Structure 1
Amino acid sequence: MAGPIAGDGAEPVNGFDILDKVASLPVSTWRYRWEAEDVRHIGPMSQDWKRVFGLGDEYEGIYCVDAKGISLVSIQALHRMITSLQDQVVSLQRRLDEELPNGPAKGQKAEVHAA
């Protein structure tokens, strides 16, 4: 990420660790002190952001670049999780088709019921 604007010292992050942190981050609705009572925003408090991620200034808000980075790495982690789960479903479907030859007709998927 080095370049004319970005600084040196770029380090990779573990998307799954970040995703766990995102899941633990309190998110609430709020308004700025100077706004009318009926105005609402949604998001984490900057103090919680600093505590959970160690990014930014505790009282100065959340930097857009950090919010975007956390969002992107979380999306990447979710994509890897979904891809892995899809691969597992395909593998299990193949095993089921092999073990139960009289099961669903070829090309049909067995119904999966959520608990």
Structure 2
Amino acid sequence: MSEVLDVLVNELPISTWRYNDEPGSPRHLGPMAQDMHRLFQVGDGKAIPVVDFLGLLVCCVKELGHRDRELRARIGELETILRGGEAVDDGKAAVSARCEDQTG
């Protein structure tokens, strides 16, 4: 899943366009079907199947949730270190403690 997020964020171009057969139609924003097909092998390069695009987005949401949990755990570890082994409930306490140490 990590690869899907990285490709979606770093390699998938986002464009604006209007449909040729709808003069005066509103401008649309999103990926092109050709790019989705090239990067993820979904669709036929002419249209983006909604179910495939939703599947890719769900993969990305799951990966972001995983990264969030890892970062929160790491922040907790660092806050504990900053407090000298004492558990900290939020980041404000750690910052406050550092300021007090520096000002005496």
Give the TM-score category using the shorter length. 0.7 to 0.9
1:34 corresponding residue in structure 2: 21
2:94 corresponding residue in structure 1: 109
Higher helix share: 2
TM-fit CA distance, 1:34: 2.1
> CA RMSD, aligned part only?
1.9
Q: Determine if the alignment matches structure 1 residue 85 to structure 2 residue 71.
A: yes
Aligned residues: 90
TM-score by length of structure 1 reads: 0.71
Alignment partners' CA distance in 2, 1:38 and 1:46: 19
- Extract unaligned runs of 5+ from structure 2: 87-91, 97-104
Q: Would you identify which runs of 4 or more consecutive aligned residues in structure 1 move more than 3 Å?
A: none
> Given residue 91 of structure 1, which amino acid in structure 2 is its aligned partner?
E
Contact 2:14–2:29 (CA<8 Å) still a contact in 1?
yes
> Given residue 110 of structure 1, which amino acid in structure 2 is its aligned partner?
V
1:50 corresponding residue in structure 2: 37
TM-fit CA distance, 1:110: 1.2
TM-fit CA distance, 1:35: 2.4
TM-score by length of structure 2 reads: 0.78
2:54 corresponding residue in structure 1: 68
SS at match of 2:95: coil
TM-fit CA distance, 1:38: 5.9
Query: Alpha carbons of 1:38 and 1:62: their partners in 2 closer, same or farther (altered >3 Å)?
Result: closer
1:8 corresponding residue in structure 2: none
